[in-house]
Structure 1
Amino acid sequence: MQSDPAKYEAEMPSLLWGLDPVFSAFARLYIKDIKEMNESKQVPVDDGTGVINCICWKNPREAEWPLSGLDTSCSSDLAEQMKKLQEEVLQKTKLEIGDVVRVRGHIRIYREQREIQASTYYKVDDPMCEVQISRMLELPCLYREVYDKPFKMPEEAPSAPGGLNLRSSIDVLSEKVKDFLLENRIQTFYQQELETVDNLVSLASQPVSRTDSQLVDSKSDPSSKQIHRAFKEAIKVLQEKGLVFQKSSSPKDVYHVTDQDKELHNVTLGVVKADCRKSRHAEKGCHFLHILCCVRQSYSPYLSEMVMHHVLNLLERNSDIVSTMEGYYMAF
């Protein structure tokens, strides 16, 4: 491995790694770059030899689902469906030399060799090399737009003495609102309901710094208006992240929590499953924009792209769907 001290001096402190969104994402890199990747001096590990082994341990018995274990009262149709499912799983997990596979995992050092330990994998049916060509076109764009750009810490605007910066205070409030909604498993809410939660109100009522041109007399801007405006801005931040949404264009309509809206999850999953049965989507899956269009037609025309991205990520984390390539999804 390279040990140029000048490169380590410019390395980002490990405490700040989590601020880079690429840190918590699966990076799609060339094998050459994985071999030449510099290991962190802050978190030392054994040097590798440059050999990339893709390992995936599988118990042969785990790949077999014996039908003999079924209840004798099960119908023959159910047994037949289980048999077909078993055959499909075996077909996708049985690998031979020359097969094209998609692997997701993490890099580790084992016995002084650098390996990619697979967490998920499946065989790709790519007789026309369309998937491989798509990846070849996708990677240069990722490198140009993401990987080759150094991560820069966000610059925070200075706050006036005695007050918090307006942007940071709204961000803190939005995070607290998000935590409150998820911890209490709230599915829908009105803004007025949040304004009755004491710990959230205490955050919303904190003074914020403003420029001289934005200073308002306290008599014309009572605390209740400040709290109401703070909650409105915090909810707007959550909407921009796709964490909450409204099914209509009315600002007074109820807000839905994306993580808890099982109807939206089921509609989205149903769209992916139904379209993946069609021949034109069977190989590489459904494109994001197609899924968004179908869900808008059957669920809500005001659904934003960020909400749709969030829902698809949730379904993928639950192993209901898998992303076959950039912007394409397929149901299991």
Structure 2
Amino acid sequence: MACPGSFTDDSSLEFYPPKLWGLDYHFNVYNKMYIEDILEMEEYPYYTGAFSFKNHPIYKVDVLGVVVKKVENSKCFIYAVDDGTGVILCCCWKDNFYSHTAPVSTLDGLPVLLRQKVNEIQMYTAETTEGYSLGDLIQVKGKLKIFRDKKEVVANIHKKITDPQFQVFRMCELPRLYSQRYDRPFQLPYKVQQALKQRRQESTSGITSETSVVCDLKAVIFDYISKSNHIVDLPVSDLLQYTKVKDILTKLNNGQGDSMEKQHSLLFETLSLLEDDGHVTRRNDRRMLFEVLLHKSKLDTSIMKILLTDTAKPKYSEKGCHYLHVLDELHKTLPYSKVKKEALMFCLQKLEAQSDVIRTTHAHYLPCGD
């Protein structure tokens, strides 16, 4: 179990660039920590904008302590907050927006519960404008900054704590957070580690891998079909004539190109990824043909035909058709005998946004009347 002041610098830890910080759970939350550990944290190695505990990038904290010093100026209050392990300065800005609150006499016509809520807001406003007193127990959530060579917390949220059990709960909570969260090093997800490893190998060898080529192709093809409203059918062979696609395919084998069969295989793999996202669907009435679903498509027409036909039956007239029923009906047709659920749901959501269908439950759909 961790204790205050348990921070140690482990040279074996790996520190990551800012673009990967969001993968750490602690980065975007207010971290409840001992003030002593906050004061001992140093700036994140090689990068600015955050501080490091182990190799966790931390820039937002949640502290709870007693006010031992108070300084007021025209714009803010500066409190020295002590939690028993250390003292840190907290800057709480004055909020003039709520300084003109309605007098209590004008609230007499409000319901009792609403009047109590307004009184609570006015009490909070008084605290933010008049400040806290020495000896008050306060909670401060904010961003860590260095001002005049000293760490301070610039408060986003702050309030006075009147329940003494709150402090006891925090004392019991912190050791568990340290043992389960903070003391465990920040490790990237396995897929991200593999992708970074692959990129390092590519930069060393100078040869682009097939995985990177497929990712680049996916981005280029999605941009192409999303900007071209007229594209409905998308043969794989037509994509080979697209300039940006040809440029990406030349990255393989150090720019020497690949066989036509290999290029078709890569394009088919890319389109299969887009199919998993519901943006295209494979047609079985023609070989190596995909249908674009981002705009008005033939699949939309087939779905509407099924809904109009089946909802005319008494069984489906009131509640509508379940999307799995629509999927089964599509599988009975030749062009969409292997259509995926993702493609169907994408089209149904699109039709719902266009007010062509209405969703009666989380899974049932009815066509809208003319």
TM-score, normalised to structure 1, is 0.46
Bigger Rg, which one: 2
Larger strand fraction of residues: 2
TM-score, normalised to structure 2, is 0.42
Larger helix fraction of residues: 1
